[in-house]
């Protein structure tokens, strides 16, 4: 699974001009399931995100997690994170999970986030929708992460 995390002062996602989800301080999570991803990769990714110390403490050091600060999570599906731009000028998205599997894993991540992140709210976009994402990146802090399936 791939995610791009952005530490935000606030963020919202709109669909057809209507707010679908919004948070104040917290993390905007752009999430993409790739082929061969399972719940195991989703669990690892979410566990890491919830403990990642990227919020400032009293001394201004990045020493607190989203859970420590009671921040929100805004989880938005974004299959374009799987773009392959290695040849030609048009990206290929063949490494992204098929739509049904991508939706299933996205829904799983959201459900797990709601179960585990009790310190703050969890909001979402809508899988497969044309969305407009508005955010105020705090820092700026933007962190790409990828959890690949284990090779057997």
Q: Which residues are catalytic?
A: 78-80
What tokens appear for 90 in the block?
């048009």
Asked if 45 contacts 3 with a C-beta cutoff of 8 angstroms, the reply is yes
Burial 27-50 (b: 16+ CB within 10 A, else e): bbbbbbbbeebeeebbbebbeebb
- Cα distances (Å, whole numbers) of residue 95 to 14, 83, 148: 27, 8, 12
Asked if 30 contacts 3 with a C-beta cutoff of 8 angstroms, the reply is yes
């Amino acid at each position: 699974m791939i995610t791009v995390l952005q530490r935000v002062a606030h963020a919202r996602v709109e669909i057809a001009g209507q707010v679908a989800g919004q948070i104040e301080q917290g993390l905007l999570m752009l999430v993409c399931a790739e082929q061969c991803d399972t719940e195991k990769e989703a669990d690892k990714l979410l566990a890491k995100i919830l403990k990642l110390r990227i919020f400032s403490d009293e001394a201004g050091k990045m020493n607190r997690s989203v859970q420590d600060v009671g921040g929100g999570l805004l989880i938005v599906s974004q299959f374009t994170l799987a773009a392959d731009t290695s040849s030609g000028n048009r990206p290929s998205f063949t490494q992204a999970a098929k739509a049904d599997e991508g939706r299933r894993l996205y829904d799983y991540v959201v459900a797990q986030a709601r179960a585990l992140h009790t310190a703050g709210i969890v909001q979402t976009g809508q899988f497969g929708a044309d969305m407009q994402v508005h955010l105020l990146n705090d820092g700026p802090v933007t962190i790409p992460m990828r959890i690949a399936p284990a090779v057997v």
